[in-house]
Structure 1
Amino acid sequence: MRVLLFGKVSYYTMDTGSRIKLVREHRGLTQQKLGEMLGYGKSSANRIAQYEMGYRSPKANRLKEIAKAMNIREEIFLMPDETPIDLLRILIWYDWEHEGVLQLATSRTANTPPGKTVSPIIYSEQLPLNRLLLDWADQKHSLSVRKITRADYLEWMLQWPPRLP
């Protein structure tokens, strides 16, 4: 777990091992089963535990294999930060890790509490990027009104972004 300090507030960010554990548990896999899926043999559970605890760091090619075995996008483990989509992915995961810190609204659903300043609304002139922002806002809204479960939302995150037209 990495710690980022902002003034006197520290924010913890989920490291790769914690993400492996989160997805493995979400998929209902034991450490042993995931290790077997990766061909580790007898040391399966031990190797996965080492990844999850941060004692060992899987190389990029191994992270790709882990992502494939658990049917998720490899970017979940290999978070680049070079494009707007990368930045959105970072924000989505930050929001998951720090529930309640980020609030999303569309211009038609924005509701600023009395006495508060108007919150900024992020939008893009690039239609595909704007669709991704709206999709995220819709998913968060569905979660907040219990139209979907946290497990459904996590699954959406693991498959995000959808293939763009």
Structure 2
Amino acid sequence: MTQKALGEALELKGDCQARIAQYEMGFRTPKRDVLEKMAQVLDVCIYALDTEPEGFFTQLIELLFWADTEDPHLMSLSTAHPDGEPYNSIQAFKIEYSDNDNWLLHDPTMLWFQNTFMDDYLKEWEVRKRELREKTITLEEYTEWKLQWPYSCNGCGKYKTQKQWRVLRKDTSNKENR
């Protein structure tokens, strides 16, 4: 969609193409109602456009999504599982990875959150990245999932998404978006 077409769809007064360009360059900031209408016209979640997202974790996930868009191989996600060892008063963690090709220059540093929301978001993101890697979803579907986030989330199959992001195929057995 061109800047002019977007400006016209938003019913902006004056030079609507220049106004959209100013929004894109950060010279002007659209008011909330314009931002909501823009998200509707572009069919994306408002969080993908909002410069002041609701809450720290939303902002952090959006930042990680854009880093992933710029360099898809920059980050890897993995779920840690308990090793069965008894937990003692010393906080210790052991995280291992398979280094079958010696592809890392050094041991990676792991980061995790003690926050249910962030953990749930990252788990679902891990699933989507794995689906992309295994080619069960396309790059376009993966991008759409990120653009519609958090409305595209389904709790890793626990509930129905609020926003359709998968391309429905006749031969699919996927039950996530039904």
Superposed pair shares fold, TM > 0.5: yes
**Which of 56, 66, 72 is 1:83 aligned to?**
56
Residue of structure 2 in register with 1:58 after alignment: 29
1:36–1:97 CA distance, 2 compared to 1 (3 A)? same
Q: Spell out, residue by residue over 1:18-64, the C-alpha distance to the aligned partner (whole angstroms, 9 max, x if none).
A: xxxxxxxxxxx333432221013784445434544x28433243333
Shift of 1:133: 0.6
Q: Give the conservation status (yes or no) of the 8 Å contact 1:63–1:77.
A: yes
Which ranges in structure 2 are unaligned for 5 or more consecutive residues? 82-95, 160-178
Tell me if the contact between 1:106 and 1:121 (Cα under 8 Å) persists in the aligned partners: no
Look up the equivalent residue of 1:114 and give its one-letter code: N
| Deviation at residue 74 of structure 1 after TM alignment | 2.1
Distance 1:48 1:79, change over 3 A: closer
1:146 aligns with 135
Match of 1:114 among 98, 102, 109: 102
* CA separation of 1:110 and 1:65: change in aligned 2, threshold 3 A: farther
Which structure features the higher share of strand residues? 1
| Matched residue SS, 2:120 | helix
Alignment partner for residue 135 of structure 1, among 120, 124, 132? 124
Structure 2 letter corresponding to 1:135: E
Aligned residues: 136
Task: Give 1:65 deviation, angstroms.
Answer: 2.8
* 8 Å CA contact retained: 2:68, 2:74: yes
| SS of residue matched to 1:133 | helix
More helix by share: 1
Deviations 1:122-152 (A, max 9, x none): 3333333212111111111222232222221
Q: TM-score, normalised by structure 2?
A: 0.58
CA RMSD of aligned residues (A): 3.3
Letter in 2 for 1:57: R
The TM-score normalised by the length of structure 1 is 0.62
Distance in 2 (alpha carbons) for counterparts of 1:43 and 1:126: 45
Q: Which amino acid aligns with 1:33?
A: A
Percent of paired sites with the same residue: 25
Shift of 1:156: 0.8
